[in-house]
Amino acid sequence: MAQVLVRDLDESVVEKLKERAAQEGRSLQAQLKTILETQARLVSKAEARALAARIRRRIGARSQTDSGTLQAEGRRR
């Protein structure tokens, strides 16, 4: 596995991370690993835009009902 060294972190940031780790019952290293892994799995803006474009193409010219109309209908039932 790869290792990463982060230098010159503000001490207040480290303290907050330690507190968060303690709340989660983890070591600082385990907490940082979890944060980094979670962030790495997030979809990038470019990926999200590409997905939205694919969805728009699939939906095409299909008529859509205004969500406000649907909510109003749901309240009347």
CA-CA distance, 6 to 20, in Å (whole number)? 18
Name the phi and psi angles at 24, rounded to 5: -90, 0
Q: Does residue 17 register a pLDDT over 90?
A: yes
Q: What is the mean pLDDT of the chain?
A: 93
Half-sphere exposure of 18 (CA within 13 A, CB side): 7
The separation between CA 46 and the C-alpha centre of its own chain, rounded to angstroms, equals 14
Domain ranges of the chain: 11-58
Q: How confident is the model at residue 24 (pLDDT cuts 50, 70, 90)?
A: very high
Name the phi and psi angles at 59, rounded to 5: -70, -40
Contacts of 13 (CB under 8 A, 6+ apart): none
Output the pLDDT for position 7.
95
Output the pLDDT for position 74.
87
